[in-house]
Structure 1
Amino acid sequence: MSTPFFKDKPIILDHVKSWPDSPDRTIQSAGRDSYADQAVQKALRSDPKTSFKLSDCDTLLNKYEPFKIGECTLYEKDPILALTQFSSSKSCYISDDSFPPDKWVNQYNGVLRHSRLKEKLKGDNPVMYLNGPNITDANQSNLGDCGFVSTTGAISLHPQGHNLLFSSIYPPVYNPMGVYSMRIIDQEQGKTGYLIVDDDLPDENYSYMTDNGEFWFFLIEKAFAKLGGGYSNLGGGSEKYYGLASTSNISITEEKKEEVWRNNFIPFFQGEQLTTYQGTGNTTQYLIPNHAYAVIDAAEWKDIRLVRLHNPWNTVKYNGDFCPGSQKWNDVPQEIQDKAFQNNRFYIQWEEKNIPTTFWMPYDYYRQDIPKISKIYLGNDLPDVLKKIANPNPIQERGDNGWEVQPRSH
C-alpha cells in the first residue's frame, strides 16, 4: 500500500447526489438534497448583472449565529443556501464588502487588479472540480505561499483529509450569485463555522489552476486569506481548520536515521498511507531553499530507500538520483516501479506530453535538506457528524442517469 486512490467523479449540477456529501450541512437542512429544489436549480443557472453588498444581508445572516475568529465573522449554521435564494429573488449577485480588495494587500503593496470568477476564466465553462480535489490541480505562482499550497496538496491526498477538503466548499458548483461557504473547524473554540467568500478574485497570478476552467483552489485560497487578514499571511498549518492535527517535527539525525525510517516513515506512509508537508532551510544541496513541499510517500525495495515529494509549482526542479528519467530507475524492474513506487501516477498533460509533477529522492538526500518529518492525523476535536466521511470512501452517489459528464483532460 502507498498513496491512496480516490474514486471522485465529476459533479453534475442537477444530480445533487453526485455532489460531495456534507453531513454537517445536511442536519441543518442545507445539504446537497436541498439544492434539488427547482427554484435553487434555476438560481444556479441564472446570470445576474447587478450586485448588492453582503452587509445588506445582515438581518438574514444574524439568524445563522455569527461568531468571530480574530477579526473574521463566521456562522455556526451555514447561510449559503439562504443567501443564494435571497440574492436570486433580487436578481443580483453578492459582493463581500467585509473583505474588499483594499484588504488584500500583499507583500508588494498596492491595490490589486481583480475580477469575478466568470471573467477570470475568460468564457470557459467553469467547474469547481474536474474530478475532486487533486494535488496536481493548483500551482503556486507569484505569491510566497508555498506552505499553504503544499498543505492543501497534502490534504488532498490524505486518507482522512481528502473528503473533508472535498466537502468543505458549498455549493460545489459554479454559483452565479457569487458566494460560497467554506467550512472551518475552530478547534480552539470547539465550533464548526462557515465563512462566506465571494468570487471576486485577484488578477495578480498568485496561483493558477492546471485546467483553466477549474476553480476550487481559488476559493479556498481567498477563504483562508480572509480568515488570516490578507493573502500575504497565507502559510502552512491550515490542516487544523479541516479538523486535522499535526505532530511536532521528528528530527532525523545521523544516529537516529534508521530508527526514524523504520518507526516513522514506513508506518506513516506505507502503513497508514498518510501525507504531510515540510520546508527546507536557507541552505540546501538538492532542493530549493526556503521552500515547502508536500511529502506524500516513502518506499523501499532491496537497499533502495526513497521519499516522494511534490513541489507546489507542479514542476520537479530536482535532478538528483531517482529523479524522473534518472538512469537509477534502470535498476528497478518496471513492475516494482509501478506497484511499489507508483511511478505511473501524478502526471499532467501539456502539449500532448505527460509531465511529471512529483519526484522520488533517496532518503539520505531528503534528510540532508529536510532533516525532519511530521505526521498529519485526524484531530480529536473533529465533530462526530464529520467522522463518517473522514476516510477514503466515496462521498458521492450515482445520479439517476449515472455519471453523464466526463472529466476534461489537462
Structure 2
Amino acid sequence: MGCSASVEAGVPTWPSRSRCCAGADQPVNSASASTNKTVITPRNWTSLTENIQVLKRRMQQEDPKLFVDAQFPPRDISLGTKQEKYANKKIVWKRPHELSLHPVLIADGTSRHDMKQGDLNDCWFLSTLSLVAEKPQLISKIIQKDLNFSTNDYSGMFHCRFWQFGSWTDVFVDDLLPTLDGNLLFARSSDPNEFWVSLVEKAYAKLNKSYAALEFGFEADAYTDLTGGLAEWYTPSALRENDFYLMRAAFQCGAVIGCLSVDRQDGSGNKKTATGMVPNHSYVVTGAAEVPYIDVAVKLVRMRNPWGDTEWQGEWCDGGDEWKRVPESIKRELEVTSKDDGEFWMSFSDFRREYSNMIICNMSPDFDHDGISDKAAYQLLLRGRWEARANAGGWLECDSFHMNPQYQLVVHSDAHVERRYNGRHPVVIALLQVFRRGVTRPGEENDLYAIGFEIFQLSGSPSLASLQPFDNQFFQTMDPLMPENQETYAKYRETSGRFFLFPGRYLLVPSTHEPNQSRDYVLRLFSVGKIECGCVGNVVQPSSS
C-alpha cells in the first residue's frame, strides 16, 4: 500500500502509572475593570493550520476590532464541565490590558519560576511546561511571538504550536482569559504583567476542547505535545544508588524529568502530608548535585511544585539544619534559598521513597543507559488505523491477532554500531494512539485503549522483501522478542519498548488489547544504525477526521 519508510541520517526529528490529580487552591493575581470593547469573529474560520498572516489580513478586511475566537468562545461552554462549579458565580473574560497597566507576553525570557497553577488540576501539563520554559530552543517552537499588546498591530489573537501525532499543529486563540472576582481563574505567571503561561494553557485547552479536559493527565503526554520528543518511564523505588548519576547526566544534557508523588492520602482531607508533600501530584526535577556533608558526599535532588509554593519539609528542606554544615559558596552555587517558591532540595533516598513514577524525556532515546540522549540517526514514522471487524484483532492471545496491521522491519548491518553494542543494534519503538482529551471520534470510545506491540524475528537477509501477511498458525508457533522496558498493553496514549536487535528482518505488529477497537495510531522507530520498514498487510490508512 505504499507505506514503506526509511529516513536517512541528518533528517530532522519529528520528534502502574497514575494521573496527576492534585489541584491548587490559592489566591491569584488581582484584575481590573471588565471590558466594554467591540469584538469580532472572522468569517470562514475553519482550519487551525491557516497561516497567521492570512488570518490577520482577513480580520483587518472584515473589521478592525479585536479578535474573538468562535471555535473556543469566551463563554462558560469553553470551561467544559468546570462550568458546573461556577454555575452561581460570574465569570468575566478579560484581555491582558484589562488585567495589567503594562502587559507583556514574555518578560525577560521564560523560566520555570514563571509558572503558578490556578483552579485547574493540570499540574501534569504545567510542571512539564515549566521545564520546557528553561529551554529556549523548545519554547520558541511553541510560542509564536505574534502578540504585542502595545503596537498598532495588536489584534487580540495568540498563536501557539503543539506537536500532535507526527506533526506540528498551529492553534490560534483570542487573548480573553477567564476571571472570577477580578482574579485570573486558571494558570498565570508569577509576574502579574506577563501572560504567556495563561495563553499557552488556553491554547492547549482549545486543542482539547475545554479547560476541564486538561484535568488529570500524564506528564509524558504533555512532554510529547510540547516537544515531539520521547518519554520513557522509571520507578524511583527501583532505582539503585548509582542511578543518581544517570539521572544527573540526563538532566545536565537537557532531558526533562518529571515525577509523580506517592499517593499517601489518609482520608483526612489534608492536601499535603506532614512533610509537605502533596499526594499524587506532579513535580519536576530542576537539579541534582552531590554536596559535602561532614565526612560524606550526599546525593541531592532539586524538585519544583507547579503551585509555586508548598514545599518538602523533611531533611535538606529550605532552611533545614543540614544546610548549616554546607559552605556558603556551595549554597550559592546550588541557589539554595528559604523562599516558599515551590522549589526545594531533598536527598536521593527521600526522592526514591516519596515518588512513585518518574519520566525522563529526550528528543532522542538514551540508547546506552548512560543518562545522555544519543543521536538517533535513523527515525521512522508510520501512520495507520485499527478498524473494528477489519484489522483490529486484539492482543497475541486472541485468535484474531493475525488480523492486526503487520510491518516488516529491516535492521541493516553496520560494523561501527555492532562494535559499540556487542553485535546488535539498539532500536526504540513507540506506539502512539491518536486520542485527544475531550475529543471523541465516531465509532470510538471516549477513553484511552490499552495498546502494545509484538516483534518477531524472521529468517532471510537484512533487506525488504515481498511478504504475504502471516496467519494465525505463525503466531501460535513463534515467540515474540521481549523488550527491556515495555509495559505490556498499557492504557496510555503512548507506550514504548527498547530492543537490541541483530542485523536481519523482523515482523512488527501493533494492536489494541481488546479486539474490534477502532482508532488511528502512529508508530515511531528510533535507531543509531540504518533501519527500514514496509507494510506486510492488513494496514488501513488513518482517518482524515
Determine if the TM-score, normalized by the shorter chain, exceeds 0.5: yes
Structure 2 SS opposite 1:368: helix
Aligned residue among 230, 236, 239 for 2:223: 239
Aligned residue among 234, 238, 241 for 1:258: 241
Structure 1 CA distance for aligned equivalents of residues 322 and 189 of structure 2: 32
Higher helix share: 1
Matched, 1:373 2:358: yes
Any unmatched runs of 5+ in structure 2? Answer: 1-34, 265-272, 365-375, 382-545
- Cα deviations across residues 213-242 of structure 1 (Å, max 9, x unaligned)? 111011101111111121122243222223
Aligned pairs for 1:388-407 (under 5 A) are none
Q: What does residue 114 of structure 1 align with?
A: 92
Q: What does residue 363 of structure 1 align with?
A: 348
Aligned residue among 258, 274, 277 for 1:277: 258
Aligned residue among 279, 286, 291 for 1:296: 286
Aligned residue among 171, 183, 190 for 1:210: 190
TM-score (norm 1): 0.67
- Cα deviations across residues 93-123 of structure 1 (Å, max 9, x unaligned)? 12111112213224462557132314641x4
Structure 1 CA distance for aligned equivalents of residues 230 and 158 of structure 2: 28
Structure 1 CA distance for aligned equivalents of residues 177 and 136 of structure 2: 30
Structure 2 CA distance for aligned equivalents of residues 275 and 331 of structure 1: 31
Number of positions where the alignment pairs a residue of Structure 1 with one of Structure 2: 304
Q: Give the conservation status (yes or no) of the 8 Å contact 2:300–2:346.
A: yes
Q: Give the conservation status (yes or no) of the 8 Å contact 2:148–2:154.
A: no
Structure 2 CA distance for aligned equivalents of residues 296 and 153 of structure 1: 10
State the AA in 1 paired with 2:167: K
- Cα deviations across residues 154-189 of structure 1 (Å, max 9, x unaligned)? 211247534434xx2331422632112111222x2x
Cα offset, 1:357, TM superposition:
3.8
Distance 1:368 1:377, change over 3 A: same
TM-score (norm 2): 0.51
Q: What does residue 145 of structure 2 align with?
A: 170
Matched, 1:138 2:115: yes
Q: Give the conservation status (yes or no) of the 8 Å contact 1:48–1:176.
A: no
Structure 2 CA distance for aligned equivalents of residues 118 and 164 of structure 1: 23
State the AA in 2 paired with 1:177: S
Q: What does residue 420 of structure 2 align with?
A: none
Higher strand share: 2
Which protein is bigger by CA-based radius of gyration?
Answer: 2
Structure 2 SS opposite 1:257: coil
Q: What does residue 70 of structure 2 align with?
A: 97
State the AA in 1 paired with 2:41: K
Structure 2 CA distance for aligned equivalents of residues 203 and 137 of structure 1: 19
Q: What does residue 328 of structure 2 align with?
A: 334
Q: Give the conservation status (yes or no) of the 8 Å contact 1:161–1:244.
A: no
Cα offset, 1:88, TM superposition:
3.4
Q: What does residue 80 of structure 1 align with?
A: 52
Structure 2 CA distance for aligned equivalents of residues 367 and 160 of structure 1: 31
- Cα deviations across residues 238-284 of structure 1 (Å, max 9, x unaligned)? 22223342432212336x4224223x2122124x1433222113216
Any unmatched runs of 5+ in structure 1? Answer: 1-46, 67-73, 348-353, 384-410
Matched, 1:317 2:311: yes
Distance 1:322 1:119, change over 3 A: same
The RMSD of aligned alpha carbons is 2.9
Structure 2 CA distance for aligned equivalents of residues 382 and 155 of structure 1: 25
Structure 2 CA distance for aligned equivalents of residues 130 and 226 of structure 1: 24
Aligned residues with identical type, % of pairs: 24
Structure 1 CA distance for aligned equivalents of residues 112 and 213 of structure 2: 21
Q: What does residue 199 of structure 1 align with?
A: 175
State the AA in 2 paired with 1:183: R
State the AA in 1 paired with 2:349: D
- Cα deviations across residues 112-143 of structure 1 (Å, max 9, x unaligned)? 7132314641x412100111211111211221
Q: What does residue 51 of structure 1 align with?
A: 39
Q: Which runs of structure 1 show a deviation greater than 4 angstroms over 4 or more consecutive aligned residues?
A: 379-383
Q: Which has the higher contact order (CA 8 A, sep 6+)?
A: 1
Structure 1 CA distance for aligned equivalents of residues 167 and 251 of structure 2: 30
Q: What does residue 179 of structure 1 align with?
A: 157
- Cα deviations across residues 56-85 of structure 1 (Å, max 9, x unaligned)? 143xx6xxxx4xxxxxxx21x5x2223233
Cα offset, 1:372, TM superposition:
3.7
State the AA in 2 paired with 1:52: I
Aligned residue among 105, 111, 124 for 1:147: 124
Distance 1:246 1:369, change over 3 A: farther
Structure 2 SS opposite 1:261: helix
Q: What does residue 230 of structure 1 align with?
A: 210
Structure 2 CA distance for aligned equivalents of residues 171 and 159 of structure 1: 17
Distance 1:182 1:159, change over 3 A: closer
Structure 1 SS opposite 2:40: strand
